[in-house]
Amino acid sequence: MIVINDISDFNLAKTFECGQCFRWNADESGVYTGIAFGKVIKLSECVGKVSIFCSESDFENIWQNYFDLSRDYVKIREHLCVDNFMKEATAFGAGIRILKQDKWEALCSFIISQNNNIPRIKAIIEALCNTFGDKTIFEDKIYFSFPSPDKLAGLSVKDLEPLRSGYRASYILHAARSICEGKLNLDSLSKLTAKEAKDALLKLHGVGEKVADCMLLFGLHMLDSFPRDTWIKQALLKYYDNDFDPFVFSPYAGIAQQYIFYYMRNT
């Protein structure tokens, strides 16, 4: 077990429930269990300390980076307090950290997320993993990893019907095939500018502005990306002018977006 007691701005509920990820679930005592990169772990929080139930090597090789623990979010919040609304939103969302997720999982998850609500997104993703992912045992329970593109590329829309993902099934398959055929290299996108990476993503069938921006932020960890969903649009309409430019939050517009999203959705 790894105990983190010297990193502020790490709140489990806020990080896992802010719309950036879909495979972390809390029990009645607030202990979260999730799976990423094929590894299952538990996390608990008590009096400002976060306990991660994993080996030291897994923490150093996976989770320290996954939870972005080397970044100072206190300073980032101070940077984002450009007006009274952001002072309130950043204070309310203090504890959110932007996860460094698996690129393919992030892309596929946000393809599924379009025109969807979080409970249904999570249900579709779990069905996808349970049907096509690899099985792993953790504390006598069965979990399934996120299926790789090559496991999905050869499937048909009919094969995905049990997921009840609707028209999104063809989008998932097109993305998986594009990766397997070498038309899209997710690792290479990280080396491009945000605009270049976004242009490449927009070539995918079923990927529009919002999904591409979410992929930039949550899959490629390009922290200046500013996805606009219904909650963000409502906030901009209520608190800002029509010509609002998220550049005011640069280089952390994406983190600002999460504070705004969390504040609007939970107040």
Question: How far is residue 230's CA from residue 36's CA, in Å, rounded to a whole number?
Answer: 28
Angle of helix 84-93 versus helix 73-80 axis, rounded to 10: 160
Which amino acid is present at 157? V
Grade residue 3 by pLDDT with cuts at 50, 70 and 90. confident
- Whether 1 has a pLDDT exceeding 90, the answer reads no
Q: Do 208 and 236 reside in the same domain of the chain?
A: no
Whether the CB-CB separation of 200 and 192 falls below 8 Å is answered with yes
Classify residue 131: in a domain, yes or no: yes
Domain assignment of residue 40, yes or no: yes
61 domain residue, yes or no: yes
50 pLDDT higher than 80: yes
| In a shared domain, residues 19 and 111 | no
3-state secondary structure labels for all residues of 196-208: HHHHHHCCCCCCC
On whether both 126 and 43 belong to a single domain, the answer is no
- Mean pLDDT over the full length of the chain: 94
Q: How far is CA 231 from CA 37, 136, 157, 190, 236, in A?
A: 30, 36, 31, 27, 9
Are 39 and 144 in a shared domain?
A: no
Q: Please give the average per-residue pLDDT across 106-114, as a whole number.
A: 96
202 inside domain: yes
The answer to whether the CB of 150 falls within 8 A of the CB of 138 is no
If asked whether residues 96 and 136 sit together in one domain, one would say no
- pLDDT (average), residues 196-206: 96
Count of structural domains within the chain: 2
Is residue 4 domain-shared with residue 95, that is, in the same domain? yes
Q: Do 83 and 38 fall into the same domain?
A: yes
* pLDDT grade for 16, boundaries at 50, 70 and 90: very high
Q: How far is CA 45 from CA 26, 66, 69, 98, 259, in A?
A: 11, 17, 15, 18, 20
Task: State the pLDDT confidence band at 242, using cuts at 50, 70 and 90.
Answer: confident
Residues 86 and 146 in one domain: no
| pLDDT tens string 24-41 | 999 999 999 999 999 999
Identify whether 224 is part of a domain: no
Does residue 92 contact residue 10 with C-beta atoms inside 8 Å? Answer: no
Residue 6 has pLDDT above 80, yes or no: no
Closest to 259 in 3D by CA, of 83, 2, 38, 46: 83
Query: Can you read off the two tokens belonging to residue 74?
Result: 């206190």
The domain that holds 125 is classified in CATH as 1.10.340.30
**253 located within any domain:** yes
- Specify the pLDDT at position 4: 86
Cα separation, 202 vs 180, in Å, equals: 17
**Contact by Cβ (8 Å): 119, 89:** no
Q: Which residue has the tokens 């593109």?
A: 149
CB-CB neighbours of 119 under 10 Å = 9
What is the percent of the chain with per-residue pLDDT over 70, rounded to a whole number? 100
- Rounded Cα distance between 158 and 180, Å, is 20
Beta bridge partners of 50: 4, 45
Residues shown for the chain = 267
175 and 190 share one domain: yes
Range of the domain at 159: 103-219
On whether both 93 and 49 belong to a single domain, the answer is yes
The rounded distance, in Å, linking the Cα atoms of 225 and 227 is 6
Mean of pLDDT values over 159-165: 94
CATH number at residue 233: 3.30.310.260
Residues 6 and 73 in one domain: yes
